[in-house]
Amino acid sequence: MAPFWRPYRRRANMGALHEGHLSLMSAALQKADRVIVTMFVNPKQFNSASDLAAYPRTESQDAAKLRAARTHLLYAKRIYSIFSL
């Protein structure tokens, strides 16, 4: 007998989604019943404050793309909720 549900897949990213990201979501949907996407722009990944400031913030457009890709949940955190400033 097949299991009642397959495990979920989580896909972490920094937003500014493109077709490569969406192909990962599609692949995840092939292997799981639920796909959860986490989105967080981590300042520790940038060499300078100007690079961080220049990184595109496209949360609304990304949410629409994920909705169209049929993912199940988007969990997006703001910087001040992760690091104390």
Q: Where are the domains of the chain?
A: 9-81
Which of 9, 17, 21, 66 is flagged as catalytic?
A: 21
Pairwise CA distance, residues 65 & 79, whole Å? 22
Tell me if residue 72 is catalytic. Answer: no
Other Cβ atoms less than 10 A from the Cβ of 72: the count is: 15
Q: How confident is the model at residue 83 (pLDDT cuts 50, 70, 90)?
A: low
Beta-carbon contacts of 58 under 8 Å, excluding residues fewer than 6 positions away, are 15, 16, 17
Least trusted range by pLDDT, from 18-22, 25-29, 74-78:
74-78
Of 82 and 65, the one with more pLDDT: 65
β-pair partners for 43:
none
pTM score, two decimals? Answer: 0.81
CATH number for 9-81 (one of 2.70.70.10, 1.10.10.10, 3.30.70.360, 3.40.50.620): it is 3.40.50.620
CB-CB contact of 82 with 40 (8 Å):
yes
